[in-house]
Amino acid sequence: MLREENEQTPERKAAFDQAMAEARYYVENPDALRKEVDTWEKERDQTHLYAPHPDQYAYRMMNYRGFVRFPERLWNFLIVKENLRDEHCISLPVMMDIEPDSRCNFRCIMCARAKEGVKAKGSPRLKLEDFKKFMDANPQFVEVKVQGVGEPLLNPDIFDMISYAISRDTWVRTTVNGSLLHKNENYKRLIDSGIGEVQTSFDGTTKETFERIRVGSDFDRIVANLKLMNDYAAKMDRDYTRMWVLLQNNNRSELLDFITLAAKMGFRRLTYSVVLTGWGEEDCFDNLKTKAFSDEEEGKILEKARKEGIDVSVWNCTDRFRVDSPETVCPVPFTRAFIASDLRIIPCGTIGYSQDVNYGQALDFKKHWNSKIYRAFRRAHLTGNIPAFCRECYDLDNVPTKDSEG
């Protein structure tokens, strides 16, 4: 923790004491948290699509337990909330993407692995002992996403990784392609691991569309696997799974059909993503990209969702970042990073496949977090000289034409 750099002002100490009291209260009074969350769910706006969020009771309870157990986690979390964006960070990341395996059994047309010449470098599989060392050295994590460019279930240690992170009161989610869920009853092992959320990428409602996009897949097998997982998860006391649809020109005509199919497979939640990036290369998949929903489409989606009993959300973060002020630039350089399966630190999961980006070795993460290259990366965002591999996520009308990678 960088606590020695975080002056413990009376204001910060008061905020910490108040937040810790709140955490202890909810840990000791879970019914109070349940009631608050239920009230929020009933009162939130149901007339518009919103960004996806995890099960709020399970997520917040995990956070509170972690804050009580690791006071330094809460201190760091509160510093991050102050939004003090500077090239030298006085806080550590609260979230982290960790890649268990860089290999994949598919070659999806919109993935970095579809790009000719992209191959795994170094170790394609993260070792469990290294995962544990990394987690032990970083108690500040509120959340980790155990997934990268590859298929997580190709690493047989994935379940132990999830369980270990959860044993440290850290919220965990992952994204799988669904092809391996039936093997060794992986669908049960995922849910039983205590994972916060299992997302499944699902990009076509017919065998033809699905297998054209997700090359190497078997539509019927995956539909059956997801039904297995959802039927098993339904026996528990909360929502564990989410169907995640990456919209593109190849499947846009099936927009409403996704909701029908999600219900048939037993999903309670579905998220449309209209974020299709080029993995750090501008114009890489422009022929596949689609536009955001019109008001008419949103209305039809909400109507269909109510009919099928599906909670539908949308993820659309493209062009949301601007260089107007430190508050409008991308938060990732200041709050998050990506750890590749070969333990390289990469500044963002969007460029997680790149073999040319290396910000240091993950087991020495704290030493590298304010290194020369990391400070230059943040400075580039703060000064509007957006690095080339980040430009897709910005409003280009407000970004200078000069490229720089820090």
Q: What is the pLDDT of residues 94-128, one digit of tens each?
A: 999 999 999 999 999 888 766 544 454 556 899 99
**194 touches 168 (CB < 8 A):** no
Would the pLDDT of 277 be above 90?
Answer: no
Would the pLDDT of 401 be above 70?
Answer: no
Q: How far apart are CA 201 and CA 2, in angstroms?
A: 37
**215 touches 106 (CB < 8 A):** yes
Which of 60-74, 350-364, 388-402 reaches the highest mean pLDDT? 60-74
* 3-state secondary structure at position 66: helix
Would the pLDDT of 272 be above 50?
Answer: yes
**116 touches 54 (CB < 8 A):** no
Q: Looking at residue 293, what is its pLDDT?
A: 87
Q: How far apart are CA 67 and CA 26, in angstroms?
A: 11
Mean pLDDT over residues 224-237, rounded? 94
**144 touches 172 (CB < 8 A):** yes
Which pLDDT band holds residue 2 (cuts at 50, 70, 90)?
A: low
- Average pLDDT, whole number, for the chain? 90
**179 touches 225 (CB < 8 A):** yes
Minimal CA–CA distance to 151: which of 200, 84, 196? Answer: 200
**131 touches 161 (CB < 8 A):** yes
